[in-house]
Structure 1
Amino acid sequence: MIINDQDLRTLNTLQLPAQAEAFARFSSVSELLSLLDRAAANGLPLRVLGGGSNILLANNVPGLVLQSAMTGVQVLSRTAEYCRVAVDAGMNWHEWVEQSIAYGHGLENLALIPGTVGAAPVQNIGAYGVEVADCLEAVYGLQLSTRQWRWFSAAECRFAYRDSVFKHELAGDFIITKVVFRLARRFRPQLNYGPLAQLQPATPQGLIDAVCAIRRSKLPDPALIPNAGSFFKNPLVSAELAQQLTAQYPALPRYPQADGRSKLAAGWLIEQAGWKGRWLGPVRMHDQQALVLTTNGNASYADVAALRDAVVASVQQQFGVLLEPEPQVF
């Protein structure tokens, strides 16, 4: 059923006000195709909404906004080493992580990340030394411009740090309906992140619980405090700039990369620039984690943009580093 003038405030975790001209959830491929036909017949452009945890609503949204309500899980094959599992795009990401340990391992560090399975490859979500690309085999969905079903291997997804092909030439032109994961049958936990190293011996559920505890201690619950998770990417800078900054700021967290660059901790830069816990109108950078932009529940896109731009300018002026926001304007 298509709903006209759908309020989107409760469908984005920053609770920014906006309305969709039309909105519909689909519970099957046949429903999706029917909705596409109706949109075409009425000249409505199409947008796809996941869990609303990584978007900025700048204005009312014209056209038909689609959201998947498909949540199936299907084992495709098992070997002694791996289990291949296809998961529908509409499934809640954290719920899938918790279920995944019944099939195999590799996703435990990604527990409690808000959003849906279908949104995970778009952003190549990651946490505590693991990215979704590490366990993803393929993405399946429908390209809107051609009406062709397409299958993208992990290599074809062109995964990079918080990036994929779905944020570039396929942005707005592809509906992910299913994601295939390749999970290891043997549990080999990634425990390089400081507090996780204490999990000895680690168990799959124990690792999930530990990751959840860490996230809850540092990150606000979007259900209680409107936020979109980490608002800025950790910037990648040249080795020369990293060395210069380390000489000036010895406590600067930096992580050398395989290509010679260094990844810096955006939260640390923001805190040093004086924005941790600081309000600008109805928005602020969180007082427990400076990387997270939060609102008081009554913010507009203009309010968020004002704080975003102020933080970017401050960090660039002090450190010569340009921060890039993670959330995409919807």
Structure 2
Amino acid sequence: MVPLKNLHTFGFDTLAQHLVEVHTKDDLVSVFQGLKTKQFYLLGEGSNSIFLEDFAGTIVLNKLKGIQVHENENEVGLSVGSGESWHDLVEYTLSIGAYGFENLALIPGTVGGAPIQNIGAYGVEIEKFIASVEYYDIHLNSFHILNHQDCHFVYRDSIFKHQLFNKAVITKVNFILPKNNRVEHSYAPLNQLVEPTPIDIFNKVIEVRTEKLPNPKVLGNAGSFFKNPVVTNKVLNEIKMRYTSVPHYKVSHTSVKIPAAWLIDQLGFKGKMYLGVKCHERQPLVLVNIGSGNGRGLLMLARQIKQDVSNAFNIELENEVRLVGKNGVIDL
């Protein structure tokens, strides 16, 4: 048995039957040909997965590395191994004068997780910069490339969470950063900056995230637990009748995004705890393991939050974090 406590940032004291590392494409082929129909879970830095109990299968740890840069007068292209650290890549792009990722600084996880989740922050989603994604098809035992359109990117979602879930292992992500890219600073608190440079944005994002979000190395957590819900204008107007100052961001002519943290905060969940799992006092969107937490406590708290938000606002929250049980991903 393999301990998982240090392999996922929530830090529950759970186990897996086996663990293997993949460093090359040949490793991938060898590992999955060996696993065949056996149960597995692909893991990067463990920042978006919570192992609620012992996992009855093999953990496949992604260690695919490498960064290639190709540049012309209009853009910088990057081909990046899926096992690279996302934040390290953001720092690297800034060091070579390639801009666009700065709003996404300090998001935990690997590069391979970025297209799966279509990670985003402060008005920027990574799909804007993804040209294509390379992956290994487990069942066909072959490598393929999906262009941007075929990845089916939407808010915090992609084809890799649906049709290709547990069928594809992302090996490389190909990005394009336009040299005329404009900084995005319309979201608070970035909108307080005057004519910011990409470095200014990068530094401010790190400052804000460090201040608001607990360090998982100190206090176990997986970042934002729930997605920010997108609702119709009708639902927004119904909430406005009780909460005139509800924060929201326009998504389309008929829909808006409401911060999940605000919804949770209105219901008084800050600081509430179930069996060692607590809703963070400063950021209610983050659930934390105070050290003695377990999967049962997390499910109790998360399900109570979801139920109360549904009852109070007629909004169904979705968990952004993957919850892993004995036999794989489970629903909240």
Q: What's the TM-score once normalised by structure 1's chain length?
A: 0.94
Q: Does the aligned pair in 2 maintain the 1:11–1:51 contact within 8 Å?
A: yes
The equivalent residue for 1:112 is: 106
Q: Does the aligned pair in 2 maintain the 1:83–1:103 contact within 8 Å?
A: no
Q: Does the aligned pair in 2 maintain the 1:139–1:152 contact within 8 Å?
A: yes
The equivalent residue for 1:145 is: 139
Q: Does the aligned pair in 1 maintain the 2:275–2:292 contact within 8 Å?
A: no
The letter for the 2-side match of 1:144 is: I
2:60 match: secondary structure: strand
Q: 2:82 aligns with which of 89, 96, 106?
A: 89
CA distance, structure 2, for counterparts of residue 259 and residue 329 of structure 1? 34
The equivalent residue for 1:100 is: 93
The letter for the 2-side match of 1:8 is: L
1:189 paired to 2:180: no
The equivalent residue for 1:28 is: 24
CA distance, structure 2, for counterparts of residue 289 and residue 319 of structure 1? 20
The letter for the 2-side match of 1:15 is: G
Pairwise CA distance, 1:187: 4.7
Q: 2:280 aligns with which of 278, 286, 306?
A: 286
In the TM superposition, 1:43-54 aligns within 5 A as 44-54=38-48
1:208 match: secondary structure: helix
Pairwise CA distance, 1:173: 1.1
1:295 paired to 2:294: no
1:192 match: secondary structure: coil
Q: 2:258 aligns with which of 264, 281, 288?
A: 264
Q: 2:34 aligns with which of 32, 38, 43?
A: 38
Structure 1 gaps, min length 5: none
2:13 match: secondary structure: coil
Q: Does the aligned pair in 1 maintain the 2:29–2:141 contact within 8 Å?
A: no
1:70 paired to 2:55: no
CA distance, structure 2, for counterparts of residue 128 and residue 113 of structure 1? 12
Q: Does the aligned pair in 2 maintain the 1:124–1:159 contact within 8 Å?
A: yes
CA distance, structure 1, for counterparts of residue 211 and residue 45 of structure 2? 22
CA distance, structure 2, for counterparts of residue 121 and residue 17 of structure 1? 29
The equivalent residue for 1:16 is: 12
CA distance, structure 2, for counterparts of residue 71 and residue 185 of structure 1? 25
The letter for the 1-side match of 2:142 is: Q
1:59 match: secondary structure: coil
The letter for the 2-side match of 1:175 is: V
| Compared CA separation, residues 259 and 142, structure 1 to 2 (3 A) | farther
1:214 paired to 2:208: yes
| Compared CA separation, residues 259 and 16, structure 1 to 2 (3 A) | farther
1:217-270: per-residue Cα shift (whole Å, max 9, x none)?
111111111111111111111211111111211121122221511211110110
Q: Does the aligned pair in 2 maintain the 1:46–1:64 contact within 8 Å?
A: yes
CA distance, structure 2, for counterparts of residue 58 and residue 153 of structure 1? 35
Pairwise CA distance, 1:103: 5.3
1:248 match: secondary structure: coil
Q: Does the aligned pair in 1 maintain the 2:85–2:110 contact within 8 Å?
A: yes
The equivalent residue for 1:246 is: 240
CA distance, structure 2, for counterparts of residue 195 and residue 317 of structure 1? 31
Pairwise CA distance, 1:64: 2.3
CA distance, structure 2, for counterparts of residue 256 and residue 141 of structure 1? 34
Question: RMSD of the TM alignment (CA)?
Answer: 1.5
Q: What's the TM-score once normalised by structure 2's chain length?
A: 0.93
Aligned-pair identity in percent equals 34
1:149 match: secondary structure: strand
The equivalent residue for 1:80 is: 73
1:9 match: secondary structure: coil
In the TM superposition, 1:301-316 aligns within 5 A as 301-316=295-310
The letter for the 1-side match of 2:252 is: A
Q: Does the aligned pair in 2 maintain the 1:104–1:186 contact within 8 Å?
A: no
- What count of residue pairs does the alignment treat as equivalent? 323
Q: Does the aligned pair in 2 maintain the 1:103–1:185 contact within 8 Å?
A: no
1:294 match: secondary structure: strand
1:16 match: secondary structure: coil
CA distance, structure 1, for counterparts of residue 106 and residue 123 of structure 2? 15
The equivalent residue for 1:178 is: 172
Q: 2:118 aligns with which of 97, 113, 124?
A: 124
1:115 match: secondary structure: coil
| Compared CA separation, residues 103 and 166, structure 1 to 2 (3 A) | farther
Q: Does the aligned pair in 2 maintain the 1:104–1:187 contact within 8 Å?
A: no
